[in-house]
Structure 1
Amino acid sequence: MPTPDALSRAAAAVVDLYRAGAEDFIARRSLGLFERPWLDRMLALTPPGRVLDLGCGAGRPIAAYMARQGRSVEGIDASEALLAAAAEALPDQTWRCADMRSWSPETPGAGVIAWHSLFHLRPAEQAALLTRIGGWLVPGGVLMFTSGGTAGETLGDWSGAPLYHASLDPDGYRAALAAGGLAVSAHVRDDPSTGDATIWLARKGG
């Protein structure tokens, strides 16, 4: 069991890991688009307009798929190297170098996706961000994100370095979403088709 100090250090180091390990991340990132059924499910609910991709990485495969479906994409990531790769692959889309914890869009979007990115934040940061995301969406806008299956903090491994992950419990996620005016449309825990990811779809009222 990681100590509180180890968890704090690892949480603070996530951005630096993705900056230093951009090439490794790109090499390892699956482009098989196993996420497609969920992306299609999200798009079927999402009104016309742009999609915000939080933790967009190098833009492939998720932002690229959204663009192929006719959506404009605004990708947000804290790694300059990953964003450079995204801009090279998808030059017609918009890319922002920013920390999702402090960034806000200039105008609301139709959808927000945070696939395997939100869970690198500490639990309180996740709750605060989910509530803020409600203000980033137009009425009827849709959020999709992944989380762990149970509440807690843990450390994975990235080339020998500890990689921080955390999750709230389901009630905590529902409360944070409700505080932002979002109602849960779907919640599937440990979906085997996505490598046992836990997936949430939520929609803004209006």
Structure 2
Amino acid sequence: MEIERKQVDLTKVKESGLPVVWVIGGPGCGKGTQCDHLRAKYGYVHLAAGELLRHEVMSGSKRGLQLYKLMEMGELVPVEVVLDLLSEAMASKVTGSSGFLIDGYPLDLEEAEKFEKQVVPVTRIIHLDLSTDTMVDRLTRRGNFDDKPETVLKRVKLYEEKTVPVLEKYCNKTVKVDADRSAVDIYPDMLKALSGELETGGRPVV
């Protein structure tokens, strides 16, 4: 199915020099919670790929209806369309922002490379590290409608096969944070990861 594409002017984003941080971790690692805390403290824009897709679907736009039909059939949304949505959000929110926290993207190396080529190079990656057993346990206990055992295992496997290679390729920009703790205990290390106090090959962000 052909999905409507939009031209996005990213001039302001490219010229802003604002830090762009990917927050990557397996299902159940608490990415959204930590990003919300960092957004509140530093004035970063928090963009979650899944939320952008849902918002577009709920908007009733032509593209939203096309995306709804695609997802209803169980098809994957094209990489370019997800990138369009991220680009539009970044361009619309760049003024007054301290930077961008991108959660749930990239899912694989293709998305990572296209983002860097079409938007801007990533400044830093925060990896919320969680064991497979803990991911499965957290999602199973959470009990959302889509957290059935077979679905959980599929999501974890997809993360390990597709997303972990992104962390390996960009290891010089990646800071690892132990996510096998409570959200309160993780947060101080998220601050250190963002400020450059934790070791990485990248430069300080704040």
The TM-score normalised by the length of structure 2 is 0.37
Higher strand share: 1
Q: Which structure exhibits the higher relative contact order, with contacts defined as CA atoms closer than 8 Å and separated by 6 or more residues?
A: 2
Name the larger-Rg structure: 2
The TM-score normalised by the length of structure 1 is 0.37
